[in-house]
Structure 1
Amino acid sequence: MDPDFLKLYEQIKNHTLVDIYRCHELWSLAKQVGDVEGDVLEVGVWRGGTGAILASAVRDFPDKQVFLADTFKGVVKAGQQDTRYTGGEHSDTSRDIVSDLMETVSLGNTTLLQGIFPDDTQHIVPSKIAMLHCDVDVYSSSKDIVDWCLPRLSVGAIMVFDDYGFFGCEGVTKLCNELRNTRGLRFMHNLNGHAVFVKFAN
């Protein structure tokens, strides 16, 4: 793995529930969207670990801003599609925890969005998205995020969904399987638990 990534991972590993392999994949994918129009959006930040990885990966692209959206109150919009979540899980975080992490790793290219996305904070994010990392664990919340993002994805943009195929995250798996039929998207299932979509055409 990239030595720069490994150094960063040591700083952020206690701020994420995502394993090192998926973290490295986020790092690698983010580095590939430098010439794709738009910004980077992560929804489902928890304590900021993967957000720091994304922001560090694109820090050499001065036109890229990283928006980190979270309720900081845990999972929202859990429903019948979701077998494990009922709402409020992963609430052991705060905006200050994430803000302090970004300051510690010297990342000034991030904007924190507190509230439900897209319901409360969509107006803060510009109109083009180069990369989405969706890690909200449940179907309805993931679908609302995707519905907002799809018309704003640039050609070449990447969407990454955490927990694809994971026990207890059947809602996320269901949504990703539905997206596989979306015109203009290519799908890849990495066995580490990521579902990756690339927009190849309008």
Structure 2
Amino acid sequence: MTPQLTDVDEVRKLYLDVVKRSLTGALAEDSDSVLGGVSWQGNPSRLRRAVSSAARLLDRVGVEVAIKKPYDPELRAIGKDWPSRAESMIGLRRMTNIEECVDIVVREDVRGDLIETGVWRGGAAIFMKANLRAHGDVTRTLWVADSFQGLPAPDVAGYPADTGDRNHELGGLAVGEQVVRHNFERFGLLDERVRFLVGWFKDTLPTAPIDRLSLMRLDGDMYESTIQALDALYPKLSSGGFCIIDDYGSHSSQAGQAVRDYRAAHGIDEPIVDIDGSGAYWRRA
């Protein structure tokens, strides 16, 4: 006879483990490099751009060309590879950080909603919602904020730290709102408590109808995107809430510098905790 799982925490842990491994492509060991896929679009190499264009033409007639690569669990753990088909590129450790933070927020009843700014295919936001569902929390809203057309061209005059940034040229970063909504639906997690903020952060975040936040996860890569999110959202973060910066280490001169400037300007001295060399977070005192 198969033993029955009766411990609620154990069942929750098993469910969330499967979801995060699915969202990151770790479950399927998704490691193929699809020609014309996310890591090829906007590549500075002329050859890769030409191959990408040809592959996208083939894709129109239902033909996908992929280069097989061995799956590296260490790279997937820290989000240093870029899965072609997965809903998230952040890796398992940053997913686990979301899980741990949401667990504390719910168990300690930290007041406020959750938000991710910069969602790509929606993977991290979907996992935030999965954690709320796993805890039976039906009171908090999850805010999903993105331009859904990629990153903006750098505003060098206003934000010189973004000089030379090429993220706006990477077509693989532009994922439409309907695609992200469908990804929520595929996991059975789209409901009235998932609300989308569509547009550039400077236009959507200052006027978003958000009262309080218990968790804010910023994934904008650039100085501009990060500082605009901090300016609009950090004053709404509850005591005991979490501020997670996906690109603190990986984009230290941009997102990381925006964080350091904001913290210095507002006297924030809670320690910053590294997650995996790329992401970091702190808890508001």
Interval containing the TM-score (normalised by the shorter chain):
0.7 to 0.9
Q: Matches of 1:87 and 1:191 in 2, distance apart?
A: 23
Gaps of 5+ in 1: none
Q: Does 1:197 align with 2:269?
A: no
Aligned to 1:136: 220
For residue 46 of structure 1, what is the aligned residue in structure 2?
120
Residue 110 of structure 2 is matched in structure 1 by: 36
CA distance in 2, matches of 1:105, 1:52: 8
Number of aligned residue pairs: 199
User: Which is strand-richer, 1 or 2?
Assistant: 1
Pair 1:8-2:8 in alignment: no
2:256 maps to 1:173: yes
Distance 1:184 1:163 in 2: 19
Q: Separation in 1 of the partners of 2:275 and 2:208? A: 34
Matched residues in 2 for 1:45 and 1:110: separation? 13
Relative distance call for 1:123 and 1:54 in structure 2 (3 A) is same
Aligned counterpart in structure 2 of residue 95 of structure 1, from 160, 177, 189: 177
Deviation at 1:189, TM superposition (A): 2.7
Letter in 2 for 1:12: L
125-134 vs 2-11, greater mean Cα deviation: 2-11
Q: Determine which structure has greater relative contact order: mean sequence separation of CA pairs < 8 Å that are 6+ residues apart, divided by chain length.
A: 1
Tell me the SS of whatever aligns to 1:73.
coil
Contact 2:205 2:233 in 1 (8 A): no
The aligned counterpart of 1:183 is 267
1:27 corresponds to 2:99: yes
The separation in 2 between residues aligned to 1:18 and 1:175, in whole angstroms, is 20
Identity of aligned residues (%): 21
What is the SS of the residue equivalent to 2:162?
coil
Shift of residue 9, structure 1, vs aligned partner: 1.9
C-alpha contact 1:69 1:112 (8 A) present in aligned 2: yes
Question: Where does the alignment leave 5 or more consecutive residues of structure 2 unmatched?
Answer: 1-9, 25-85
TM-score by structure 1 length?
0.88
Pick aligned residue for 1:106 from 188, 191, 197: 188
Larger Rg: 2
